[in-house]
Structure 1
Amino acid sequence: MSRLNELLQQAGNIGRNEDDSITRLGFSEKYFQALEFLKGRMQELGMQVETDPVGNLHGVLQGSDPEAKSIVIGSHMDTVMQGGVYDGMLGVTGALEVAARLKDEGRTLRHPLEIWGFNMEESSILGGTFGSRCVTGMLDPDIPGYAEKLAKFGCSPEKAKAAKRDISKYECYLEYHIEQGDKLDHTGIDVGVVSGIVSIIDYKVTAKGMSNHAGTTMMANRKDALVGMAKLIVAAEERARELNDTLVFTVGKIAVSPGQENVIPGQAVANFEMRHMDKAVTDQFYADIQAFAKEIPNCEFEFVNTSAKYSTPCDPRLIKLIDDVCTEKGISHIIMPSGAGHDANSMAHEGVPIGMIFVPSVKGISHQGDEYTKPEHIDLGADVLYQTVLKLDENGF
């Protein structure tokens, strides 16, 4: 087993459950156990290391040119509930492999090399990409009610603000990640050069009908909110398939009230999530869903936009650089969008040029215990990351 694969298994297995999945939620005991483990590895590599005010891990290898901006690499260390070893942690351990190879080869980069292991990238009450949004200053912790949410994790608006860095000193940000989809694995291609990160748009949709007795209210007289919601979900799912072959639509959460077996549901609330690179596509899809809702009888619908993270293109210069590395090394690769959100999104929205490198997820599985990427792909992607860093350091963009 290679050094990187061994480190990935050691760090990634922290938080293992009885069913072999991994739960390492942001701010949890297992999260900080993983952080301390990786902090020790950073220190062994001679890095200046810190845990920042919101639980991000940060390490720096100083460069030879005090005027040069930092090349920044990393990913996140938290998982979803019952997630897998590879999501996020691959990017952090892959970044450490870059630092280890520099040490092996006795190289000192001209640019500083900074590595981030971000906290709470996964969805939570604090919002996804929490740690990286704090670092970039993208997060506003003073919005009403947010301080109470932070307090649940022993955090505060003051700590969130203190985590902000001067990212004008960042040359670029590179993130190494598993694809989390099946395109690479299905086609047998070894590396994905990411063109951009799709928009993620969420709506809270409320269907309002009328509760009544389940036994005495005849079908013709019912105003069943759950039935209305089910019709809207089916119509939206069918429209997503028709509208665009890379548009995805998910209803992952639904609540029914009053929630009793013998009472007709008077209200149903669901989360509608849509993802695509082109805002025009998600705008059209939302308009179509609203039109469907007006045609559903015995039910009224209310839509509230709860999140809108619009698509983020990767920097064309970094796309070309990663593409060139793959071509020179004879690695099969494809330029492709990311259907998942990443910490790179936070960097890009605040003006830092971003690039991303994907390696295959076997069968496209992610966010569950069966998540797996082959050891040879792990080492291959890390080598692409390393060679990209060297080219950036020598020649810039």
Structure 2
Amino acid sequence: MSRLNDMLQEIGGIGRNEDGSITRLGASEGYFQALEQVKMRMEALGMKAEQDPVGNLHGILPGTDPEAKSIVLGSHLDTVIKGGVFDGMLGVTGALEVVYRLKEQGRALKHPLEIWGFNLEESSPLGGTFGSRCVAGMVDAEAPGYAERLAKYGMKPENVRAAKKDLDKYGCYLEYHIEQGDKLDSAGLDIGVVSGIVSVVRYEVTAHGISNHAGTTMMPSRKDALVGMSKLIVGADARARELDDTLVFTVGKLSVAPGQENVIPNEVVATFEMRHMDKAVTDQFYADIQAMAKEISNCEFTFVNTVAKYSTPCDPALIDTIDHVCTRLNISHIIMPSGAGHDANPMAHEGVPIGMVFVPSVKGISHHGDEWTDPKHIDLGADVLYETVLALDKTDL
């Protein structure tokens, strides 16, 4: 295999379980082992590398123009429980591959090149994209109870404050990542040029019924909260399929009370999550769900919005640059949204232009030990990333 594939399998394999999956949680021993492996390679390439106060890895390759803004590459070093090799680590090792190629070809960039390996991108009690949000100054370490959560990871509020960077010096942020869906693999395409990162909107939905004896309450008299919630879930799923072919709807958490076999449920709480690039679509979908709820006689419903992370567009100039690179290299590609969140989100929300390069996930599998991207696609994506960096270095950003 190529240098990049070897590096990815070696570092990305840290935290391997007996079943072949990877568990390398943020701030864990395995996480810091991986961080040190990447840091060692950065330093061998002549980069200044350091671990920041919240456990992110940051490397800098100076440019020839001290006034030029930085080209920033990055992704995360952690995984979910029993995840795969590629999610996150591909972006970090792919960024290292760019530096390897620059050194081999004797190229010196005008712009500084920075690489981030972020901590705790995956969901945790500190919130997803924790490391990159700290760098962007988006974490409120003074929020009630947050200091206690930080302490569980060996951190204090002052660590969060000290991790904030001046992002005005960043000309752009590029993230190389597996798609984590099946669009590219199903279509037989090599590269996805990301147009933006979709909204994530969640509601806590509660169905209110009436508990009663399961044996003595006849069917016409029941106010079964679980039956009512089931009707709403099935109806919402069907409406999502009708409304837009890129709208996704998920109920990933459900609790039933009182939770006894012989008692009719009086309360069911579920999380309704919807994702789409267009806020108008998620707003319409939510209105449709509320209308359905009013037609369900089994129970009454209440809705509480818990998450509203609206879509993050990629920078049009970066999209065009990546698109032109793919065309010039004769690589099949498509412009497409990302259905998952990434460390690029916080960068964009603080005004840094972002771009993303996707490579196919075989069968659309991710966050699972069977996650796989063919070695040829790993190298093709690195070609695109490298050529994009060279193209951007010719501009003023």
SS in 2 for 1:30: helix
For residues 266 and 341 of structure 2, the distance between their equivalents in structure 1, rounded to whole angstroms, comes to 35
SS in 2 for 1:256: strand
Q: 1:148 to 1:209 in 2, by over 3 A?
A: farther
How big is the shift at 1:258? Answer: 2.2
Q: How does 1:104-253 map to 2 (within 5 A)?
A: 104-253=104-253
One-letter identity of the residue aligned with 1:30: G
8 Å contact 2:193–2:333 — kept in the other structure?
yes
Matched, 1:269 2:253: no
Q: 1:167 to 1:294 in 2, by over 3 A?
A: same
Matched, 1:57 2:57: yes
Gaps of 5+ in 2: none
SS in 1 for 2:140: coil
How big is the shift at 1:296? Answer: 1.4
Show the counterpart of 2:74: 74
Matched, 1:341 2:346: no
Q: Does 215-224 or 233-242 show the bigger shift?
A: 215-224
8 Å contact 2:75–2:92 — kept in the other structure?
yes
For residues 254 and 70 of structure 1, the distance between their equivalents in structure 2, rounded to whole angstroms, comes to 45
One-letter identity of the residue aligned with 2:50: E
For residues 230 and 153 of structure 2, the distance between their equivalents in structure 1, rounded to whole angstroms, comes to 36
How big is the shift at 1:48? Answer: 0.8
TM-score by length of 1: 0.97
One-letter identity of the residue aligned with 2:76: H
For residues 68 and 313 of structure 1, the distance between their equivalents in structure 2, rounded to whole angstroms, comes to 24
Gaps of 5+ in 1: none
How big is the shift at 1:291? Answer: 1.3
Show the counterpart of 1:8: 8
TM-score by length of 2: 0.97
How big is the shift at 1:217? Answer: 2.6
Calculate the aligned-residue CA RMSD, in Å: 1.3
For residues 77 and 15 of structure 2, the distance between their equivalents in structure 1, rounded to whole angstroms, comes to 11
For residues 217 and 36 of structure 2, the distance between their equivalents in structure 1, rounded to whole angstroms, comes to 60
8 Å contact 2:227–2:298 — kept in the other structure?
no
For residues 104 and 255 of structure 2, the distance between their equivalents in structure 1, rounded to whole angstroms, comes to 55
How big is the shift at 1:103? Answer: 1.4
For residues 14 and 301 of structure 1, the distance between their equivalents in structure 2, rounded to whole angstroms, comes to 46
Show the counterpart of 1:47: 47
Q: Does 384-393 or 25-34 show the bigger shift?
A: 25-34
Partner deviation per Cα, 1:359-385 (whole Å, 9 max, x = no partner): 111111111111100001001101110
SS in 2 for 1:395: coil
How big is the shift at 1:199? Answer: 0.6
For residues 256 and 198 of structure 2, the distance between their equivalents in structure 1, rounded to whole angstroms, comes to 30
Partner deviation per Cα, 1:70-122 (whole Å, 9 max, x = no partner): 10001011111211111111001100111111111222211111000111111
For residues 168 and 117 of structure 2, the distance between their equivalents in structure 1, rounded to whole angstroms, comes to 19
Question: Number of paired residues?
Answer: 397
Of all paired residues, the percent bearing the same amino acid is 76
For residues 154 and 212 of structure 1, the distance between their equivalents in structure 2, rounded to whole angstroms, comes to 48
One-letter identity of the residue aligned with 1:234: V
Matched, 1:287 2:283: no
For residues 200 and 132 of structure 2, the distance between their equivalents in structure 1, rounded to whole angstroms, comes to 17
Show the counterpart of 1:365: 365
Show the counterpart of 1:386: 386
How big is the shift at 1:299? Answer: 1.5
For residues 302 and 347 of structure 2, the distance between their equivalents in structure 1, rounded to whole angstroms, comes to 34
For residues 277 and 183 of structure 1, the distance between their equivalents in structure 2, rounded to whole angstroms, comes to 16
Q: Does 286-295 or 86-95 show the bigger shift?
A: 286-295
SS in 1 for 2:394: helix
For residues 256 and 158 of structure 1, the distance between their equivalents in structure 2, rounded to whole angstroms, comes to 40
One-letter identity of the residue aligned with 2:311: S
One-letter identity of the residue aligned with 2:265: P
How big is the shift at 1:257? Answer: 2.0
Q: Does 209-218 or 346-355 show the bigger shift?
A: 209-218
Matched, 1:19 2:19: yes
For residues 178 and 82 of structure 2, the distance between their equivalents in structure 1, rounded to whole angstroms, comes to 17
Partner deviation per Cα, 1:217-250 (whole Å, 9 max, x = no partner): 3222322222111111111101100111110001
Q: Does 206-215 or 6-15 show the bigger shift?
A: 206-215
For residues 363 and 156 of structure 2, the distance between their equivalents in structure 1, rounded to whole angstroms, comes to 40
For residues 282 and 271 of structure 1, the distance between their equivalents in structure 2, rounded to whole angstroms, comes to 15
8 Å contact 2:72–2:173 — kept in the other structure?
yes
For residues 358 and 9 of structure 1, the distance between their equivalents in structure 2, rounded to whole angstroms, comes to 18
Partner deviation per Cα, 1:282-332 (whole Å, 9 max, x = no partner): 001011111111221231222111111111111111011111111111111
